[in-house]
Amino acid sequence: MQTPSTWLEISIEVEPEAVETVAEILAHYGYNGGVVVEQGWIAGDEGPEFQYDPTRPVWLRTYLPFDDQVEETRQRIEHALWHVSQIRPLGPLQTRTLVEEDWANAWKQFYSVLRIGERTVIIPSWLEYQPQPDDIVLWLDPGMAFGTGLHPTTKLCLQLLERMVQPDQHILDLGTGSGILAIAAAKLGAGHVLALDNDPIAVRVAQENVERNQVNAVVQVAEGSLGVGQAMGHWLSGDFGPAEPDPALRVQTPQATFDLIAANLIAKVLVTLAPDLAAALKPGGYLISSGIIDIKEHEVIAAFTAAGLTLVERHCEGEWVALVHRR
């Protein structure tokens, strides 16, 4: 496929809590699903390793081929962001035109080595990095919303996976997105990881990242969901399936299959899928749920309790919450 020679860069400044939502929108329309996330960085002691400052605004960028559809696509992005701005403040949408050489190097300056938790290190593949003996290294490239590993919901999940993954476990990563949690679980010693997403773009990107990290033998990426989640569209579309879920879909949920489930979704989806998540866990298995804003936490806990799960841990960063339940 020939790469276009002229590009429209679209950029917007957002608060850290809005990064994941806005990145999803830009990835939906951007070339190859690519999104650049420019964080406020705090330099490490040496080398290219950085930590990010969660109090600073974040710049997000994506690129559109400058073709006959570019203006229509720009308007679609603007319209989607307007809906987000009714909930969270966003900066103005900015655009500029780049020729191929400019575009090819435009995003690389925004990427650095990022350490999350005690052992997980996210590294752009073109940077040199000498891993420490216990590092769990995740090699990721654009073609995805790279910054989703920085969002509190994903960060909380990675920290919990570091502590909870045991050798040879059967793990489900539901709503895998970039595949970052599935890859981390595999490198932490899981025996088999099923990575599901109902967005075909996410499935493609996750598969590419799985191959890049050479965990193909452990991670299976597939399009789909659990139980009634099969009737849902992508969460950005607002399609959460029928008001009364089809009971026949729940019958299709794999029973007592997984030792550990990571579900980094949103509260509404977690509530709807609570019976399916509980059924898919082995007795004694654990569910990590995240993507929960604090004002919706009680709804998720109530749904999981009704499904027979017991809350054993709660973690938060800002207004975002991650829960650990046991069956």
pLDDT higher at 223 or 234: 223
pLDDT tens-digit readout, 266-311: 888 899 999 999 999 999 999 999 988 888 999 999 999 999 999 9
pLDDT higher at 51 or 125: 125
- The per-residue pLDDT for 256 is 75
Provide DSSP, 208-241.
Answer: HHHHHTT-TTTEEEEE--SGGGGG---GGGT---
pLDDT tens-digit readout, 130-178: 888 889 999 876 444 444 456 788 889 999 999 999 999 999 999 888 8
Residues 6 or more apart whose CB falls under 8 angstroms from that of 189 comprise 165, 166, 167, 168, 169
pLDDT tens-digit readout, 76-105: 999 999 988 888 889 999 999 987 666 556
Q: If you average pLDDT over each of 19-28, 31-40, 225-234, which comes out highest?
A: 19-28
Region of 131 please: left (phi>0), alpha (psi -120 to 50) or beta.
beta
- The per-residue pLDDT for 211 is 94
Mean of the per-residue pLDDT values of the chain: 82
